[in-house]
Amino acid sequence: MPFIPHTDEDVTQMLAAIGAPSIDALFDEIPTALRSGKLTQVPEAMTEMEISRLMHERADLDGRQLNFIGAGAYEHHIPAAVWQITTRGEFYSAYTPYQAEASQGTLQLIYEYQTMMASLTGMDVSNASLYDGGSALAEAVLMAVRAHKGAMRVLMPKTVSPLYRAVVRAMVKNQHIELVELDYDPASGMTVVPTTDMGDFAALVIPQPNFFGVLEDVDALTDWAHAHGGRVIALTNPTSLALLKAPGQWGTAGADIAVGDGQPLGAPLSNGGPYYGFMTCKQALVRQMPGRIVGRTVDLEGKQGFTLTLQAREQHIRRSKATSNICTNQGLVVTASTIYMSLLGPEGLKRVAATSHANTRSLLAQLCAIAGVTQAFSGHGFHEAVVQLDRPVAPVLAALQAQGILGGHDLSADYPELGNALLICATETKTAADLQCYAQQLGLALSK
């Protein structure tokens, strides 16, 4: 609703009907010490025309910068039809579908989304989405521990995104779950398969590609984890799965759970959100899966219908039996992803992934031809890579930004052992001229 329609008379009548002397009296149970008082920093009200002018001015501040950052937030081309359809009233204003009476159209769309994600990851079943990739990984860790019914340890490679690891730690530390870090090979950038006894563990997390953009030896890691009694949690970029082996096909038996962030599938880079987390798993673990699942059935007349099922959360079953307290899926962004995947199809997704990979290889070659720039790892990659500079990264990124280029993600704080390391990314949105422009400006920045 764009405005509040209640007049002073309306407010007076409503307060009289409930016997309250004022609106403030409705909140008298809040202690004075917890109240903020008058909002002295809030500016004076503006007219619609003034607000429109202000928003256009602030939008202009964003400029038209070339983005080579990546690191979990990826700039892909989104066909105009995706959000034109997504923002139709049937989808845009529909309430979050966790009620059994959710509309058949919304339920069918989520069912189609689940089918697509299960196919993309090579798994048996998908839920109706989670909050974001980091929380999806945390839920997968909790899910694996519940299913193991013994070990309270999960092996977490250092090649998993530092932000994701922080989210997982925050969500599991008070449940006495230990996250055991696995190191990476400094030459290849790949997670080292343990050669010593790691003791009992519930699961091994395998990022593919990892945070450095390097492709892990997923077959060896998967078989090692299964051989030692643990399950495998695949943390994947969905775009990469158009080219790479699906988690369900890793090793001899495949991964057990696959999670990640769905942002690359049709969600724009909108000042940090919204994103959504996807989760798929094998049939044997379906009753441990958090959130909701949409199923297809028939009614008494034999007509096809869709319904929510396996809602194992605390609103629907006994609290002690709930697998999660998740109450909201990211329905609108999931809608966009479903439309995006429908429009592109398998071949379109494959072209996006292949072009992104080719652009990154080309960019990496051009950058490493500059004096003072070297490639950090020898391992194969997808559409991200790490380069090392001969000086601190932050001033170089500042110089690039002054030229309208977002040059990448500085790794020196999270991975100090890599020195002056920079994570770069190129997707299908970059042209040959864009890549050449970046290389030219980086060369100028390093020559000063």
- Residue 64: is it exposed, middle or buried by C-beta count within 10 angstroms (0-12/13-18/19+)? exposed
Residue the block writes with tokens 């945390």: 138
Q: Quick check: 56 and 50 in contact, CB under 8 A? A: no
pLDDT digits (tens, 9 = 90+) for 268-304: 998 777 899 999 999 999 988 887 888 898 888 999 9
- Residue 191: is it exposed, middle or buried by C-beta count within 10 angstroms (0-12/13-18/19+)? buried
pLDDT digits (tens, 9 = 90+) for 43-56: 888 898 999 999 99
Average pLDDT over residues 138-157: 93
Beta bridge partners of 339: none
* Eight-state DSSP code of residue 207: E
Check if CATH label 3.90.1150.10 holds for domain 66-77+345-447.
Answer: yes
pLDDT digits (tens, 9 = 90+) for 173-230: 998 999 999 999 999 999 998 888 888 999 999 999 999 999 999 999 999 999 999 9
CA–CA gap between residue 334 and residue 132 (Å, rounded):
11
Question: What residue ranges of the chain are covered by domains with CATH 3.90.1150.10?
Answer: 66-77+345-447
Whether the model clears a pTM of 0.75, i.e. scores above it, the answer is yes
- 100 confidence band (pLDDT: 50, 70, 90): low
Q: Of 3.40.50.11740, 3.40.640.10, 1.10.150.120, 3.30.420.40, which CATH number belongs to 80-339?
A: 3.40.640.10
What does the block give as tokens for 83?
């959000």
Helix (H, G, I), strand (E, B) or coil at 56: helix
What does the block give as tokens for 185?
């090979």
**Which pLDDT does position 106 carry in this prediction?**
85
**Which pLDDT does position 317 carry in this prediction?**
61
Using CA atoms, how far residue 147 sits from 121, 205, 231, 256, 257, in Å, is 20, 15, 9, 11, 11
The alpha carbon of 21 is separated from its chain's Cα centroid by a whole number of angstroms, namely 47
Residue 327: pLDDT over 70: no
Look over the chain and give the mean of its residue pLDDT values, rounded to a whole number: 90
Beta strands in 22-105 (DSSP E): 66-67
Angle of helix 133-148 versus helix 162-172 axis, rounded to 10: 50
Question: What residue ranges of the chain are covered by domains with CATH 3.40.640.10?
Answer: 80-339
Using CA atoms, how far residue 23 sits from 3, 19, 309, 314, in Å, is 18, 11, 41, 33
CA–CA gap between residue 135 and residue 121 (Å, rounded):
18
- 1 confidence band (pLDDT: 50, 70, 90): very low
Residue 132: pLDDT over 60: yes
